Amino acid sequence: MNKYKYIALILVTTFVMGVAFPVGKVGMAYATPFFLMGIRFVLAGGILAVIVWKKSRPVGWMWGKAALIGLFQSAGVMGCAYYSMNWITSGESSIITCTNPLLVIVLGTFLTGAKYRGRQWIGVALGFIGVLITFGLQMNFQAGMLIGFAGAIFFAASTLLIKRWGVEFDMTVLAAYQMLAGGIALLLLSAVTEHPYFTFTSTSVAVVLWLVILGSIVQFSLWFYLLRSGDPAKTSAFLFLVPVFGLLSSWLLLGEKVAWYVGLGGAFICVGIFLVNWEGKARSEGRLARVR
């Protein structure tokens, strides 16, 4: 993929991911978190399934793989992220959820035998330090933080599963059916653990439409495409941008405070992204020689 196209898609995807946190918190004033997320993904998955109906659909065990990805990606990640906002801010939830890149490299190393260079480990570590700085170095081990971190683990697992199984699917088809599976699971979870409700207002309907169209259909389609098109660790490294967008949009939409250390943390995040993705002069020259 052309690097400029890759960067543009990364920026669009991470921006939409970041804004989804405060938008979702606005929606939680009108619905319970699991029920809101269930509605979001059932509607998004259903609409996208209709759009891609003529494309190649899963067969046999592919249905199970799509469902498992949905349980991790849609139900696990977003269910934990939004449920955690009962205790912490939307900006803090976005920061914790997006520790995923560090977990991708750790899990990829131990579970799949993937090899990552020392520079990549340093880059992800610096990015993680940036997340801590952005969070204000005040990470108390409370329920919201632990639930958010569980979502990050689900995120890392789903990233690796998509990279392993994604070649079997059309990416938009996978995005559709994994959202349907995750949405159904969230609605069932809501029925068991919550007293689900949804208050119809112009604001609540606007929130659902935003989450369904931009926050789900567009976001997941682009994200799955990027994961299949490149190295999952490198692509996931850009998720460190999500907390930056999440904090800024939380400040604009919800009035959540953004402290001076956010800029410092953002600098660490950018350095970490550079180190994870930079191939080095020698490697780049070697690639050019092979092309010639």
Structure-token pair, residue 246: 């999440």
Using the structure block, give the residue that is written with the tokens 């400040």.
Answer: 251
Q: ∠ at Cα 232 (284, 250), nearest 5°?
A: 110
Which pLDDT value is given to residue 273? Answer: 75
Cα(222)–Cα(162) distance, integer angstroms: 13
Which pLDDT value is given to residue 48? Answer: 92
Which pLDDT value is given to residue 127? Answer: 81
Burial (Cβ within 10 Å: 0-12, 13-18, ≥19) of residue 291? exposed
Which of 13-17, 143-147, 164-168 has the highest mean predicted lDDT (pLDDT)?
Answer: 13-17
Does residue 186 have a pLDDT over 90?
yes
Confidence of residue 5 (pLDDT cuts 50, 70, 90): confident
Cα(129)–Cα(189) distance, integer angstroms: 34
- Say which DSSP state 60 is in: T
Which residue type sits at 195? H
Query: What average pLDDT does range 13-40 have in this prediction?
Result: 92
Query: What average pLDDT does range 148-164 have in this prediction?
Result: 86
Does residue 36 have a pLDDT over 90?
yes
Average model confidence (pLDDT) across the chain: 83
- pTM, full prediction: 0.79
Which of 52-61, 134-143, 185-194 has the highest mean predicted lDDT (pLDDT)?
Answer: 185-194
Which pLDDT value is given to residue 178? Answer: 92
Does residue 2 have a pLDDT over 90?
no
Which of 151-155, 223-227, 266-270 has the highest mean predicted lDDT (pLDDT)?
Answer: 151-155
Structure-token pair, residue 35: 């029920």
Render the burial of 63-89: b for 16+ CB within 10 Å, e for the rest: eebbbbbbbbbbbbbbbbbbbbbeebb
Which pLDDT value is given to residue 139? Answer: 53
Range of the domain at 118: 3-291
Does residue 252 have a pLDDT over 50?
yes
Does residue 69 have a pLDDT over 90?
yes
Tally of structural domains, the chain: 1
